[in-house]
Structure 1
Amino acid sequence: MLAIFLKTLPFFLVIGTGWLAGRTRFFPPEATGWLTKFVFYFALSAMLFRFAATLDVASLFDPAFVLAYLSGSAALWALGFAVARWRRQPLAAAAMEAHTAMTGNTGFLGVPMLVVLLGERAIGPVLMVLTIDMVVFSTLITLIVTAARQGRVRLSTLVPLLRGIVSNPMIVSMLAGLAWAGLQLPMPGPLDEFLALLGASATPGALFAIGASLAGRAAERMGPALWLSFAKLVLHPLAVGIAALAVFGVEPYAAGVMIAAASLPVAGNVYILAQYFGTAVQRVSAAILISTAASIATVPVVIHWITKG
């Protein structure tokens, strides 16, 4: 257990360094925004493309894996929604809380960390989780909040939603990498070295950006935020673990990667959505802060459990 904690500690120390730099304003919010943009559009995209280009496309898609993650995450989504409605939250706010409870920081934290901790075999399952979160559940929250605000979903809503999905650099880089792998194209040495060099900056850049972005968050609305953090860090991996291992019989290693991805703290892009829709902003912000801090202790426990079989 101590060995796993020590392996995960450097990742969280980089996050802490970013938080300290942001808190002291040595790294101002404007710098955080530009660093995040660099990681999102360049470094992380290079890493994802290079990862995807090395995959065996024929064996990547596992229906049992997809169904397990979808059903486990959907069950937690429904629980989060029910709890919010029980607290008499409006439909849009309840949907945002449900989205917060099951959307992990797979892109900026999961891809760099889990591949290092669990090995390169984790690439395929991590990318599958990332794709499901971005395509299925981000679409779901947008449709529900829009329907709650406008009374119905219009075609004018769907067009920019689809445009946003297909223009997302993480999705584009993954699809381009998978196409490269599917066509069995050779990877020229200079291109591979370029992608490796640029992609290597994704891990420290993303972790530093996470920490710097947390510096401006306040822990308000503690009650709901604590519940959402507990749901994300504990209930989400438990739900997908039951679905993967007890219901759909997912291969143990892939199931372990899925559970590890589900144990990650709340993703920062949930705050962007909450701010865009103007709903549950304080709860989401506090849940990101609390879940990220608590994950220093919870993620090593999950990784330890996975690696011990």
Structure 2
Amino acid sequence: MFDVALNVLPIFLMILIGWAVVASGYLKPEAGIALSEFVFKLAVPVLIFRTLAEADFHGAFPVRLWIAYFAGVAVTWAVGHIIASQLFRTDQRTATVAGVSAAFANNVFIGLPLVDRLVGPKGMVAVSILLAVHLPIMMVASSLLIERAERRDIGKQSEGWYALFRYLGLNLSRNPLVFGVLGGIIWHFSGIPLTGVPKIVADQLAAVAAPAALLSLGMAMRRYGLGGNAALASSSSVLKLFLLPACVLVFSKLLGLSHEWQAALVLTSSVPTGINAWLIAAQFRTAEKLAASTITLTTGFGVLTVMFWAWMVG
């Protein structure tokens, strides 16, 4: 367990440092915004590109990986929605945000650095394959469910499937992570080795992706906090930190994934709630405080629960 702590604690210490330099006034919040853009638009896409370009898949079948992860997401999301709507008697929009907050892991800013540190290259391949579909699936599901909830709560007229998928398509077509995934896959199957100057540049940018991502996340945490719905946010946090990784572990074993892929999926599902949960809530102007509180709680307690899951997967 001590060895696990030595590997997990630096991840969360980097987040704490990012938070402290902004909270103390040493750096302005705008610095965190700029660093986050660098991470999301350049460093992480290059890291994903390099990982997939150099990957050795050994005939692995990624569909089983996707099923294992998203089956866990579906179970956790459903439980979060039911608890919010039936136990806490919330409206359907708030229940949907509770579900997405419990099921939307911060795979990019925490999951990638964590898996890179604890599992290594084979684990990074698994996370990169997951990221190829994670954001599109989560965004589509969230948008569809919240729009459905709005129709049930306030009788809002549907804008139609075309308008929704056009909006999602435009957003995904401008998403740098999509470029990294597609570029890495194309380079991989081209058979051209990644060597020379392109290799050096890719390695240098990929090397700064993890620390920069963690620092930028900590700097961004200043804008969140415990904004309300403490009991419901605590419920969503427990589901996020325990139920989601437990479900992913069970489905990964049932589907016979390799040990490295199991470890990668469990670890990336065990990390705190991603900022995208708050962005989705803000986009639909519903339950923003619930999403923000869940992000804060899962990040605060995640240092302990991630160590537990890291120990569980060896």
Partner of 1:54: 54
Partner of 1:115: 116
Corresponding residue to 1:170 among 166, 174, 177: 177
Counterparts of 1:189 and 1:39 in 2: how far apart (Å)?
24
Q: CA offset at residue 120 of structure 1? A: 0.8
Corresponding residue to 1:235 among 243, 246, 257: 243
Paired amino acid for 1:256: A
- 1:181-192, aligned counterparts within 5 Å? 181-192=188-199
Whether contact under 8 Å (2:281, 2:288) holds in the other structure is yes
Whether contact under 8 Å (2:139, 2:168) holds in the other structure is no
Q: Tell me which moved more, 71-80 or 85-94.
A: 85-94
Q: Between Structure 1 and Structure 2, how many residues are aligned?
A: 306
Q: Is 1:268 aligned to 2:275, yes or no?
A: yes
Counterparts of 1:222 and 1:187 in 2: how far apart (Å)?
49
1:137-187: per-residue Cα shift (whole Å, max 9, x none)?
Answer: 221001222333344351122102112123211121111101100111222
Counterparts of 1:162 and 1:59 in 2: how far apart (Å)?
30
- Unaligned 5+ runs, structure 2: 151-155
Q: CA offset at residue 131 of structure 1? A: 3.1
Query: Helix, strand or coil for the counterpart of 1:107?
Result: helix
- 1:140-289, aligned counterparts within 5 Å? 140-149=141-150, 150-154=156-160, 155-220=162-227, 221-245=229-253, 247-289=254-296
1:33-78: per-residue Cα shift (whole Å, max 9, x none)?
Answer: 1111111111111111111111235735333222221212111111
Q: Is 1:69 aligned to 2:69, yes or no?
A: yes
Note closer, same or farther for the CA distance 1:80–1:131 as it changes in structure 2 (3 Å cut).
farther
Paired amino acid for 1:260: L
Partner of 2:39: 39
Counterparts of 1:213 and 1:144 in 2: how far apart (Å)?
27
Counterparts of 1:60 and 1:184 in 2: how far apart (Å)?
18
Q: Is 1:23 aligned to 2:23, yes or no?
A: yes
Query: Helix, strand or coil for the counterpart of 1:59?
Result: coil
Whether contact under 8 Å (2:7, 2:117) holds in the other structure is no
Superposition RMSD in Å:
1.6
Partner of 2:153: none
Partner of 1:306: 313
Paired amino acid for 1:12: F
Paired amino acid for 1:75: V
Normalised to the residue count of structure 2, the TM-score between the two structures is: 0.92
- Unaligned 5+ runs, structure 1: none
Paired amino acid for 2:145: I
Note closer, same or farther for the CA distance 1:156–1:37 as it changes in structure 2 (3 Å cut).
same
Counterparts of 1:15 and 1:233 in 2: how far apart (Å)?
17
- 1:119-134, aligned counterparts within 5 Å? 119-134=120-135
Whether contact under 8 Å (2:103, 2:240) holds in the other structure is yes
Paired amino acid for 2:263: G
| Percent of aligned pairs sharing the same letter | 25
